[in-house]
Structure 1
Amino acid sequence: MASSQGKEARTGWLLISPPAIYALLLLAAPLATVLIYSVLTGGRGEIGLPFTLSNFAELFQKPIYQSVMLRSLYVSLAVTFVTVVLAYPIAYFVSFHVSPSKKALWLFLITIPFWTSYVIRVALWRTILGYEGIVDSALINIGVINEPLNILSNGMLSMIITLSHAYAPFAVLPIFVSLEKVDRSLLEAGQDLGESRLMTFIRVTLPLTMPGVIAAVLIVFIPTVGDYVTPELIGGGKVPLIANLIESQMLKIRDQAQGSAIAVAAMFVVGMVSLVFVLLNRRFLGGQK
């Protein structure tokens, strides 16, 4: 009996060892390297002992780091809000108003933007939002404006628009899954008791789908905080976010220690904000039991 259990244990370890090694090499090792670099003494292309916390102290001493982090959080939260608010009606329509035989087709169409490179999609928004671009030309032709708006000149607004489009499918899919799990008989019971469609949605549908909404929030929020391409292409580097600041420290200033400290601080802040959403998700899941 004992030998049989031992054989099963060895078989289990053999099965999990390839993904475990993969995770250690590609996830744990780079993260550990960044953590170690963040407490080393760095300079112009040099890094070494002694260990120090001065890199983190500098984050509190120089307002530039705090302002860029706050800007990154603001842009990411704004993108998350816009994306989820726009994604919910789309997911609701597909779940409740599209016939079951055509739902797969609709989901397939929603994922079409992923057929092209993310960089290409971001670059195309320069043509759409730029001076005398598609938006400006259309509004001038219909007489809404007399002069080009050049939305691209507003770095933060243009980044929010671009990122909201880029991450919209990520928000639609988890919300759609949560809507599919809603028991339709509960909605019918609410309306039979005299509730309007709006109140039934507010009191029944929305609370039941909040885990999907929070999942969409996390899926959009976490990667947008560290987005590098959009601020570089759309903002033209004039409105940097935290990823651009890290790149500047690592590659231009060549202070790997300070760049690692910024990265660790950013991971901590994002982790704390994400933890709030995770706790909210657990609360909603607990309330449904």
Structure 2
Amino acid sequence: MARRAQGAEAEAKGGLLLIAPPAIYALLLLLAPLLLLVVYSFLTDGYLEIVRDFTFANYHEAWTNPLYRGVMLRSLIVSLLVTVATVLLAFPVAYFVSFHVEPSRKSTWLFLITIPFWTSYLIRVFLWKVILGYNGVLNAGLMKFGLISEPLTFLLYNTNSVVITLAHAYAPFAILPIFVALEKIDRSLLEASQDLGESRIVTFGRVTLPLAMPGVVAAVLIVFIPTIGDYVTPQLVGGPEGRMVANLIQLQYLRLDNYPLGSALAISAMGIVAVISAIFLLFTRRYLKGTK
């Protein structure tokens, strides 16, 4: 017993030594900037300098100013729309690859899904700008087939263009975790459900979907969390109507030189995302418990 205890203790020490370098790296590169943002958010902005006077005025301004609240609400709506659209489009693709593609060809399909990663994210955003533009590919095609008499103006520089571009950009991030969850499902469970007289639709709702929920949850979080802080897409294809909170933070930092208010906006956005993510995880956990 003593030897086993010593062996377990040595193994634990070895594990700590193994994870120590990445843990220190994560603390330095993730926790330190976050703490700096928190500190800045409680300081006072001065003329071309930061006054070290503790204040809640930055958070009061971030939460009471109608402009900031409107942009924050728009960012949440855009992120939710992108998340819903991406996951709803990604699930059928992942389901098809997992259940209807031969095992020898699944790697080829996954390879094709990851092709967008070959090009720069910035280039993909510019391509959507070309497609949705006033004289872009979509308008030119619709006019050529006689479906419209003049170019459509609502395709670009608004919330719609931001949602379309972000949904396309984050589609592979949603497909892959859902595919992994579907691959782990024991096919015999589906056969047993159908042998007991359940239809394919009922089997999907009572067996496939609950077992695939970990992948769906991962896809939702992977898409929702970064999209609310996206800066490039709203800047290039959003226009004044499609600006999001990241653009507002960039304005405070680089244009107005107001680091405290920019930090308060950033911390507020992270707090809102954390609360919404926690509520989503709570509801999905209850859903999974209810299906058992």
TM-score range normalised by the length of the shorter chain: over 0.9
- Aligned twin of 2:280: 277
Bigger CA drift: 232-241 or 279-288?
Answer: 279-288
1:212 alignment counterpart: 215
Specify the SS of the correspondent of 1:213: helix
Please give the per-residue CA displacement for 1:80-110, whole angstroms capped at 9, x wherever unaligned: 0000000010001000000011111101110
Distance 1:185 1:8 in 2: 38
Displacement after TM superposition at 1:11 (Å)? 4.1
Is the contact made by 2:157 and 2:240 (CA closer than 8 Å) also made in structure 1? no
CA positional deviation for 1:147: 1.5
CA gap 1:233/1:188 in 2 versus in 1, 3 angstroms: same
Kindly provide the CA deviation profile for residues 131-187 of structure 1, in whole angstroms up to 9, marking residues without a partner as x.
Answer: 121111111112222211134445100000000000000110111111112222222
Distance in 2, Cα, partners of 1:288 & 1:238: 42
Partner of residue 234, structure 1: 237
SS in structure 1 of the partner of residue 182 of structure 2: helix
Amino acid in structure 1 at the alignment position of 2:171: A
* 3-state SS of 1:234 partner: helix
Residue 74 of structure 1: CA displacement?
Answer: 0.3
Q: Which amino acid aligns with 1:174?
A: P
Contact preservation (8 Å) 1:126, 1:152 = no
TM-score, reference length from structure 1: 0.93
> Does residue 1:201 correspond to 2:207, yes or no?
no
- TM (normalized to structure 2)? 0.92
2:173 paired residue number:
170
Matched, 1:129 2:132: yes
Distance 1:187 1:112 in 2: 32
Describe the SS at the equivalent of 2:48.
coil
User: Which residue among 102, 107, 113 is the counterpart of 1:110?
Assistant: 113
- Please tell me whether the aligned partners of residues 231 and 246 of structure 2 are also in contact (alpha carbons under 8 angstroms): yes
Aligned residue number for residue 49 of structure 1:
52
Matches of 2:47 and 2:109, distance apart in 1: 53
Alpha-carbon distance between aligned partners in 1 of 2:252 and 2:79, rounded to the nearest angstrom: 22
Aligned residues of 1:91 and 1:173 also touching (Cα < 8 A)? yes
Which residue of structure 1 aligns with residue 159 of structure 2? 156
The answer to whether the 8 Å contact 1:129/1:150 transfers is no
Shift of 1:22: 0.8
AA in 2 matched with 1:141? K
Q: Which moved more, 1:133-142 or 1:41-50?
A: 41-50
Deviation of the 1:6 alpha carbon: 7.2
Unpaired runs of 5+ in structure 1?
none
Unaligned runs of 5+ in 2: none
Deviations 1:182-217 (A, max 9, x none): 222222222223322222212221122122111111
Whether contact under 8 Å (1:218, 1:277) holds in the other structure is no
Query: Residues 143 and 27 from structure 1, CA distance in 2 versus in 1: closer, same or farther, beyond 3 angstroms?
Result: same
C-alpha distance in structure 2 between counterparts of 1:153 and 1:106, whole Å = 31
Deviation at 1:227, TM superposition (A): 0.2
1:82 aligns with 2:85: yes
What is the distance in 2 between the residues matched to 1:202 and 1:10? Answer: 46
Q: Which moved more, 1:149-158 or 1:211-220?
A: 149-158
Q: 1:96 aligns with which of 91, 95, 99?
A: 99
Match of residue 35 from structure 1:
38
- Residue number in structure 1 paired with 2:61: 58
Rounded Cα–Cα distance in structure 2 between residues aligned with 1:25 and 1:165? 33
Partner Cα separation in structure 2 for residue 43 and residue 226 of structure 1: 26
For 2:183 and 2:214, locate their aligned partners in 1 and report how far apart those are by CA, in whole Å: 13
Indicate if the aligned counterparts of 1:79 and 1:160 stay in contact, CA closer than 8 A: yes
Instruction: Determine if contact 1:91/1:172 at 8 Å carries over to the other structure.
Output: yes
Identity in percent: 61
CA distance in 1, matches of 2:289, 2:200: 26
Task: Note the alpha carbon deviations across 1:213-232, whole angstroms, 9 max, x for none.
Answer: 11111110000000000000
The 8 Å contact of residues 72 and 242 in structure 1, kept in 2 or not, is answered as: yes
Question: Per the alignment, do residues 6 and 187 of structure 1 end up closer, same or farther by CA in structure 2, a change over 3 Å counting?
Answer: closer
User: Comparing 165-174 with 54-63, which one deviates more in the overlay?
Assistant: 54-63
- State the secondary structure of the residue aligned to 2:238: coil
SS in 2 for 1:52: coil
